[in-house]
Structure 1
Amino acid sequence: MEIRDITPDDLDDVLDLRRRAFGPMSPSGKEKWRKSVLPALAEGRYLGMFDGGRIAAAARLRRFTQWWHGRPQPMAAIAGVTVSPEDRGRGVGTGIMRAVLDRATKLGDAVSALYPATTAIYRNLGYEHAGAQHIIRLPAESLRGIRPSGQVKLRRMGPGDAAELITVLHRVHGAARASGPISYDEDTWNLWLANEDDFLYLADDGYAVYRWRGDDMEVENVVAASSDTLRALWGLVGSASSVAREVVAAVAPDDPVLWMLRERTKEQLTRVPWMFRVLDVAAAVERRGYPAHASCQAVVTVDDPVRGRGTWRLDISGGTGAATPASGTGVTLSVNGLSALYAGIPTSTLRLSGLMSGDDRYDEALDAAFAAKPYMLDYF
């Protein structure tokens, strides 16, 4: 089989492959999908595996920004991994994913994430469970008590506001020292901001994206850097409480809105897990943010089934980190274990699950340096 870049001439075949994997797509959905993938074709971020002239598998590398302890870096978001039904069980999925990992590294991405349909194939390639999208279901009336505490200027968003929205995201996630949340590129944001069914509001330090979903209000994003703006945006959502029965919202695990509610008893929470992988150890360590007080020097050997085995010296202090090639013995991690550590999974968990072994004298320092509560608001 041949692996090559998807071209515009292949899109009908890719759509048929997606139909067989995920079910039918509406005509408007197909048109929106075509618009969204065209930039990926131009950037070499959509790969296909072909058996002669027939497409057997495809995978897309979405170009995202992801924050780790408030510091942004480029991230390869793997999406639309599809294998033709007649080719399943033949190693085709593993083959296309290996090609995707190689392409992501060549494009300069040091980390990657995906929402798995199944764990095994991705874990075998070095991905590990790291964080989740947290979706909470609340009575709409519970938001009535959230009222603006000051004068916040809000305006409606639309196509053309993507650059300003991205600037706001950098400000909000940087100030919160957030780990895990993502941002689309400017072209994709402008496409999403053209959705006529969404209510889109922007402030100087926050924004909201929400919509009706049947009798409920669905909140995709509400983020803000100040209490006044957060109250103003959630107040918008809560203003529908006289009609809406419930609010279904993607939130951070410690989202401030949960501490603004007058009443909290039993809550219905859906946790949609995502997996994460370090692609380039040196670049990933350098690009990540760290707690300013944390200090760590450790020798770490990483076993990677795709990129091979390597030993690194980690030096982390003052909020920055570096990984340089080294020799000697210290901690041994599979790349799955390193990816989980990078996402804040404690060393005790990694050792008990078999993802980490060796010298334990670095464990407390590693936990302090990589401490995180990773989450995403967006599903891709």
Structure 2
Amino acid sequence: MDIRDLTPEDLDDVLDLRKRSFGPIPAADRDRWRQAVLPVLDEGRYLGVFDGTRLAAAARVRRFTQWWHGTPQPMAGIAGVTVNPEDRGRGVGTTLMRAVIGRAAELGDAVSALYPATTPIYRGVGYEHAGAQHNVRLPAESLRRIRPSGQVKLRRMGPGDAAELVSVLHRVHTAARSSGPVSWDEATWNVWLGNEDDFLYLADDGYVIYRWKGDDMQVENLVATSPETLRALWSLVGSASSIARDVVASVTPDDPVLWLLGERSEEQVKQARWMFRVLDVAAAVERRGYPANVACDAVVTVDDPVRGGGTWRLEISGGSGTATPAGEGGVTLSVNGFSALYAGIPPYTLRLAGLMSGDDRYDQALEAAFAAKPYMLDYF
């Protein structure tokens, strides 16, 4: 088996591979997929495993920005991991993922995330469950009753608005001290904003992307920094209540819309879980944001068979952190455990799950420094 970068000539084989793994792909989606993939092939972001000339497996390294405690950093989003039916059970997927992890690090990413179709293969190369995309079903009528508290100027959005949309996302997630959400790069946003079936509205400090999904409305993204814009955007979605009974929306774990509803008793929430991995301990710690009033000085040993582990002294204060090589001692974590800690999973949980051991005197400081409620609004 050989691993190499995919070329435009391989894309028909990739589509066949995806069909065998995920089912038939509508023609419109195939065209949009090609439009998004072609520009990044020269960047080394699509790898394939070949058995001679036959494509056996493939995976894409997407370019994302991800926020941790309101601080953005580059993130490798692993997507489209596919293995031909006849090649499954031979270790091809693990071989591919090890290569993908190496490539993501070469591209300069210190962290990585993915939505798993199955857990064991990804856990085996260092990924651990960290957060979720939360999709809640709400009565459309309840959203219609949310009245804007001021004048908000909304306009329709299109491909030329990608830069402004990204700017809004930076302001929103910084203000909210968000952990986990991502933004596509501008080129990819320009492709997605050209989808003629989506309804796209932009304000100075927020935006919404939604569409019909059967008899319901589906909200993919709705973010805002002011109460006025938040109310205006949800009211806009709710204006479809004469036709749509329900709205299925991707929301934050503590989304303010849930406090704007006139009636709230039972809620249907569906979670799509995502997994997370630290690729470079020192860079990941330095690029992350932390609570400004928390201080932490801890020694941690990270066991990473794929990337190579080590021992670091973590020094976190004033909202910033560093990781410098240190001697033995302190806390010991698998890379899975350190990735989960980085994403806000408490040390007590990690110890009971067998992902963390050793000196427990740092546990409280580590829990406070890395505290987070990780989520994503986007599925990839």
Q: TM bucket by the smaller chain?
A: over 0.9
1:280 corresponds to 2:280? yes
What are the Cα deviations for residues 86-108 of structure 1, in whole angstroms up to 9, with x where unaligned? 11000000001000000000000
* Alignment-derived partner of residue 188 in structure 2: 188
Q: Residues 144 and 237 of structure 2 are in contact (CA less than 8 Å); yes or no, is this contact kept in structure 1? A: no
Gaps of 5+ in 2: none
* Alignment-derived partner of residue 212 in structure 2: 212
* Alignment-derived partner of residue 64 in structure 1: 64
Within a 5 Å distance, the mapping from 1:1-380 to structure 2 comes to 1-380=1-380
Distance of 2:272 and 2:82 partners within structure 1? 20
Number of matched pairs:
380
Q: Secondary structure at the match of 1:137?
A: strand
Q: Which amino acid aligns with 2:112?
A: S
Distance of 1:365 and 1:293 partners within structure 2? 12
Q: Secondary structure at the match of 1:241?
A: helix
Cα RMSD of the aligned pairs, angstroms, is 0.6
Distance of 2:182 and 2:307 partners within structure 1? 25
Structure 1 residue 135, shift from structure 2 partner: 0.3
Q: Which amino acid aligns with 2:263?
A: E
Distance of 1:147 and 1:247 partners within structure 2? 17
Give structure 1 regions of 4+ aligned residues with deviation exceeding 2 angstroms: none
Structure 1 residue 40, shift from structure 2 partner: 2.3
Q: Residues 132 and 376 of structure 2 are in contact (CA less than 8 Å); yes or no, is this contact kept in structure 1? A: yes
Structure 1 residue 39, shift from structure 2 partner: 2.3
Distance of 2:187 and 2:243 partners within structure 1? 34
Q: Secondary structure at the match of 1:163?
A: helix
In the superposition, the TM-score normalised over structure 1's length comes to 0.99
Distance of 2:195 and 2:30 partners within structure 1? 14
Identity %: 78
Structure 1 residue 308, shift from structure 2 partner: 1.9
Q: Residues 134 and 269 of structure 1 are in contact (CA less than 8 Å); yes or no, is this contact kept in structure 2? A: yes
Q: Secondary structure at the match of 2:65?
A: strand
Distance of 1:16 and 1:296 partners within structure 2? 50
Q: Which amino acid aligns with 1:183?
A: S
Q: Which amino acid aligns with 1:352?
A: L
Q: Residues 40 and 60 of structure 1 are in contact (CA less than 8 Å); yes or no, is this contact kept in structure 2? A: no
Distance of 1:64 and 1:260 partners within structure 2? 31
Q: Which amino acid aligns with 2:203?
A: A
What are the Cα deviations for residues 290-317 of structure 1, in whole angstroms up to 9, with x where unaligned? 0000100000000012012200000000
Structure 1 residue 214, shift from structure 2 partner: 1.4
Q: Secondary structure at the match of 2:328?
A: coil
Q: Which amino acid aligns with 1:234?
A: W
Q: Secondary structure at the match of 2:303?
A: strand
Structure 1 residue 328, shift from structure 2 partner: 2.4
Structure 1 residue 139, shift from structure 2 partner: 1.2
What are the Cα deviations for residues 155-198 of structure 1, in whole angstroms up to 9, with x where unaligned? 11001100000000000000000000000000110001001111
Structure 1 residue 24, shift from structure 2 partner: 1.0
Distance of 2:58 and 2:230 partners within structure 1? 40
Distance of 1:301 and 1:40 partners within structure 2? 36
Q: Secondary structure at the match of 1:239?
A: helix
Structure 1 residue 128, shift from structure 2 partner: 0.2
Distance of 1:73 and 1:39 partners within structure 2? 22
Distance of 1:301 and 1:50 partners within structure 2? 36
Distance of 2:42 and 2:218 partners within structure 1? 33
Structure 1 residue 145, shift from structure 2 partner: 2.1
